[in-house]
Amino acid sequence: MLGRLPLDEQLAGLRAVLSRNEILTDVMTRAATLELPDWYVTAGCLFQTVWNVVTDRDPTHGIRDYDLFYFDDGDLSWEAEDAVIEAGRTVFAGLPARVEIRNEARVHLWYEQKFGVPCPPYESTEAAIDSFAATTCCLGVRPEPGGDWRVYAPHGLSDVFGLVLRPNSVLAPREVYEAKAARWKDAWPELTVLPWPH
**pLDDT at residue 83 tops 70:** yes
pLDDT at 59: 98
Residues 6 or more apart whose Cβ sits within 8 Å of residue 172: 115, 117, 131, 132, 133
CB 54 within 8 A of CB 163: yes
pLDDT at 198: 79
pLDDT tens-digit readout, 92-129 = 999 999 999 999 999 999 998 988 889 999 999 999 99
Residue 58: CA count within 13 A, CB half-sphere: 7
Region of 100 on the Ramachandran plot (φ > 0 left; ψ -120 to 50 alpha; else beta): beta
Place 10 in a pLDDT band, splitting at 50, 70 and 90. Answer: confident
Mean pLDDT of 20-33: 97
Place 195 in a pLDDT band, splitting at 50, 70 and 90. Answer: very high
